[in-house]
Amino acid sequence: MREIITLETSTRETLVDITGSVRDIVDRSCIPNGLVSLYAQGATAAIMIQENWDESVQTDVVNFLGKLIPKGVWLHDAQDGNGDAHLKAGLVGPSETIPLMNGKLGLSTWQNIFFCEFDGPRHDRKVVCTIIAENDV
């Protein structure tokens, strides 16, 4: 089963919690066990599993990556000013795979799924959610 999650971002860099959207797709799938694959479409976006207790961790991620990969110093900036966004997305990575166990995401209590925006705001970001059923042979 495959569905596309479409979202809008309102700032240049942010982590958007998409756990609820992924859970809704899992519920509709009626697949009890397998894998959930998430893939961020776009060269300046990523997917991350991170703590969900409060927003400080998400803010820390954005701030850390900003210090590690500053804006405005990369060769690609001469093209469209987003060289840092490409590097951040490449470092974090475009995908995550989560086990599906008894119809539920195999996340721990403190884990959520985040879409990482590094070149917003954007009105039409997409995450491909693919659910692969376990083969009971």
CATH number of the domain to which 102 belongs: 2.60.120.460
- Which domain, by its residues, includes 35? 2-133
Range 2-31 average pLDDT: 98
Task: Measure Cα distances from 120 to 10, 15, 80, 115, 134 in Å.
Answer: 7, 11, 13, 12, 37
Count H helices and E strands in the chain, helices first.
4, 8
Q: In the chain, how many domains are there?
A: 1
123 touches 23 (CB < 8 A)? no
Q: How confident is the model at residue 31 (pLDDT cuts 50, 70, 90)?
A: very high
Please tell me the predicted confidence (pLDDT) of residue 135. 85
Q: Flag whether pLDDT at 137 surpasses 60.
A: no
Q: How confident is the model at residue 41 (pLDDT cuts 50, 70, 90)?
A: very high
pLDDT tens-digit readout, 78-130: 999 999 999 999 999 999 999 999 999 999 999 999 999 999 999 999 999 99
